[in-house]
Amino acid sequence: MIPFALGPFGQIEIWDETLGEITLMTLPKWVFCGQLFKPTPVDGEISMTVVFGMADDRRFDREHEKTGRMMFSTLKKIHGPLSPDHIFAPRLHPALGGQQTAANFRPAPALEAIALIHQAHPFQLIDTSTLAMRPVRRIGRT
């Protein structure tokens, strides 16, 4: 497994020769890996082209819980561009009572912030083989 991309809110994209793309989300804490539920032959060239083609996709942004608007552009205006080793992380994680609002997020060193975020609550493995994505397994302890 090779981590190859870090999103602005701490999601990590991982490549595996057998499983293809694996996504670890931080907010919400979900793990996506379509190959676990509906295995198909993995074509690395096509898969990676799709991943990089979606680099500006909304799935890498987070919704402001009060306004419903996406937060990345607001945070970028407030704080400026992120350094390559930083993410926008919550001051107080939503699982601990923090709000998913621009006021609660600030730039933080990625590794430190991700380590803290992952202590707040466990991951859920999400079945993405159907349109109605559903959690199928809890990973970790609360």
CA separation for the pair 132, 139 (Å, rounded): 20
Give the percent of the chain with pLDDT over 70.
86
Total domains present in the chain: 1
Picking from 54, 68, 47, the residue whose alpha carbon sits closest to that of residue 11 is 54
- pLDDT number for residue 102: 93
Provide the pLDDT confidence category of residue 95 given band limits of 50, 70 and 90.
confident
Q: Give me the mean pLDDT over the 75-93 stretch.
A: 91
Query: Is it the case that residue 101 has pLDDT exceeding 90?
Result: yes
Question: What would the 3-class secondary structure string for the chain be?
Answer: CEEEEECCCCCEEEEECCCEEEEECCCCCEEECHHHCCCCCCCHHHHHHHHHHCCCCHHHCCECCCCCCECHHHHHHHHCCCCCCEEEEECCCHHHCCCCCHHHEEEEEHHHHHHHHHHHCCEEEEECCCCCCEEEEEECCC
Range of the domain at 85: 2-139
Give the CA diameter of the chain.
Answer: 44
Query: Is it the case that residue 133 has pLDDT exceeding 70?
Result: yes
- pLDDT number for residue 75: 93
Q: What is the chain's mean pLDDT, rounded? A: 81
pTM of the model: 0.75
Q: Give me the mean pLDDT over the 39-55 stretch.
A: 65
